[in-house]
Chains A and B, each alone.
Chain A
Amino acid sequence: MVNQATDAIIEIRGLVNRFGQYVVHEGLDLDIRRGEILGVVGGSGTGKSVLLRSIVGLKRPDGGAIRVFGEDLQRLPPTRRARVERRFGVLFQRGALFSSLTLQENVALPLIEHAGLSRADAERLARVKLALAGLPPESALLNPDELSGGMVKRAALARALALDPEVLFLDEPTAGLDPIGAAAFDRLLVTLRDALGFSVFLVTHDLDTLYTVCDRVAVISRKHVLVADALPAVEATDDAWVQDYFHGPRGRAASHAAQRTETR
């Protein structure tokens, strides 16, 4: 994927975000390229979720520019903006499923509202998406409050995939999943990305996910992106936090596990 180096669908330049006196981002630059899975890591409170919210337009940046598909979301009129936002799929940290709707209605809602499908068609498609995300068929009629944490994540992924988005934003998708479920989730993500060609902006703390699925990894530290590159280059970065993160006991274990599966 070397030839895609310039094919950035999201460009962030000089982003500034602050809450009152507290500065989260200052002069943050980052590109998301077409078809890549970009892992975003950083310590707690470094503003990974804030970055995600700024890109999808939920938080107005205090400075800098974010261009999505070549357009600045904050300056677009509402109808054009909604059209761009339809090309996003977002999985929130805690699922954010609509609690008054069943799972199949949750997934069918964007299909009915945006794609104009009939209810029966939308629900049939929704059930396939739920199955794609690894949920059993009986779950389609459940309410979100009847689900375990892992099932909520899967259902939220199904909803994020409802409109076949071009960019998928995932906020800690494998947190709270058991290791088998997390590995299945990783495989599913790669399969869907290969088949559908969407890009993924993946905020995660799961080192296994970083090693097995990410094409590039961006490290956020000290209010900006320290490095954004393929994993070997990131691992080699001369920074105390990065060294601790990737060469600590967990980082080593994940790295070995990834190498084992590759050589097999």
Chain B
Amino acid sequence: MPETASRPGKLERDAGRLRATGDWTLPHHARLRKVVGQKHDIHSLDLSGLGELDTSGAVLLAELMGPEHMLDVASWAPDQPAERHALLVTVASAMQHSSPPHPRVSPPVLIALGEVGRSIEGLWRQQVQLLGFIGLTLSSLAAVLLKPWRWRVTALVAHIQQIGLNAIPIVALLTFLVGAVVAFLGATVLQDFGATIYTVNLVAYSFLREFGVLLAAILLAGRTASAFTAQIGSMKANEELDALRAQGLSPMELLVLPRVMAMMVSLPILTLVGMFSGMLGGAMVSAMALDISTTQFLTILQRDIPLRHFLVGLGKAPLFAFVIAVIGCLEGFKASASAQSVGEHTTSSVVQSIFMVILLDALAALFFMEMGW
């Protein structure tokens, strides 16, 4: 009992015979371990002075005597009650089966090298898997596309609500603020040249071509790719994916396609919201700090900015959406049953999808520049 005062356990040498006295319990374990750890050359042990005994104490006594010897405790310590014999024998026989595992120790240099090799191989394998998964998604899409009765309309609409509609406030707020910041920056730099009026062009160009789609995509990568991974990952942990397959249903068709399609519908809409909201932020700063009225802002927009910038920006949205959704789903499928694994893959899906979005955006910028669009 932890509440009652306990006599700490001791090992006493008494005329060449060892006596275990006091309470051999968990609170005294650390000290008793040191006592037991010393070399004792013994063949018998006097248990008559023993107070309380729990499993931790029994383990120590069995280590002291050797588990084999402890198994016939009843013959050399017959004065002890039967329950205590039972405990000592149970613990001793358990200890015979619990040889300490021997973890392999390698030199740190080898560990570091191995770690580098593993991560590079993992990176390569990840790309192969991603390409394979993209192919699988496209082939499932092709199989379903011409069969409207197999479209999961309800799931699609539910996902569009979650991914698209519910994200509108945060996308609008974020792009509005960035729009205001870009306008301020432009005004500060352009003022020296007396060209503050070009702030309008700066804001419009940046938001139509890049920022609208990029900010929306990054937000969705954080908000939705992680959700996809966590949903599918915990479904996998709960064997729901296996249950689907066992019933002859395709997880690709039921889980992945609605998510990918919903993403490809939502991101262009959010991009549009982002573009308008960003330019609104720019217009507000222009009107309040630069004396460019909203009418003037709109006139310049209409006169100077060709439609193709808008199309270039919007055209990237479905591509980004596809990549984000596919990475989110794939990472979910790769998770294993533990909570830690779901967490790791969720992190990985966000990092990967943001990385891919920015990489693709840079490549697209080069391409559009070469094409003169």
Contact = CB atoms under 8 A, between A and B. Distances in A.
- Most chain A CB neighbours (cut-off 10 Å) among B87, B90, B91, B103: B90
Contact of A196 (B2, B55, B98, B338): B55
Interface stretch (A140-148, A221-229, A230-238): A140-148
Contact of A163 (B26, B100, B103, B340): B26
A192 B55 CA distance: 9
B95 A131 contact: yes
B90 A116 contact: no
Contacts of A43: none
Contacts of B33: 121
A202 B340 CA distance: 31
A138 interface: yes
B347 interface: no
Interface string A78-116: 000001001100000000000110000000000100011
A99 B54 contact: no
Given A115-B29, A128-B55, A194-B86, A145 B97 contact: no
A115 B336 CA distance: 33
Nearest to B344: A100
Given A115-B27, A128-B55, A132-B90, A197 B83 contact: yes
A50 interface: no
Contact of B54 (A100, A127, A130, A196): A196
A138 B97 CA distance: 10
A138 B55 contact: no
B29 A137 contact: no
Task: Say what secondary structure dominates the interface of chain B.
Answer: helix
Nearest to A124: B100
A195 interface: yes
B127 to A, nearest CB: 26
Nearest to A140: B101
Interface string B40-76: 0000000000000011100100000000000000000
Contacts of A188: 90
A125 B56 contact: yes
Interface residues of B, number: 33
Contacts of A177: none
Interface string B333-349: 00011111100000000
Given A128-B94, A145-B336, A137 B55 contact: no
Interface in B306-349: 336-341
B84 interface: yes
B5 interface: no
Given A144-B338, A195-B83, 20 more contacts: A87-B2, A100-B340, A111-B26, A115-B29, A117-B29, A118-B30, A125-B59, A128-B95, A128-B98, A130-B98, A132-B94, A140-B98, A140-B101, A163-B26, A164-B26, A164-B54, A166-B1, A188-B90, A195-B86, A196-B55
11 contacts: A99-B341, A100-B340, A121-B30, A125-B56, A125-B59, A127-B100, A128-B94, A129-B55, A137-B101, A143-B338, A195-B84
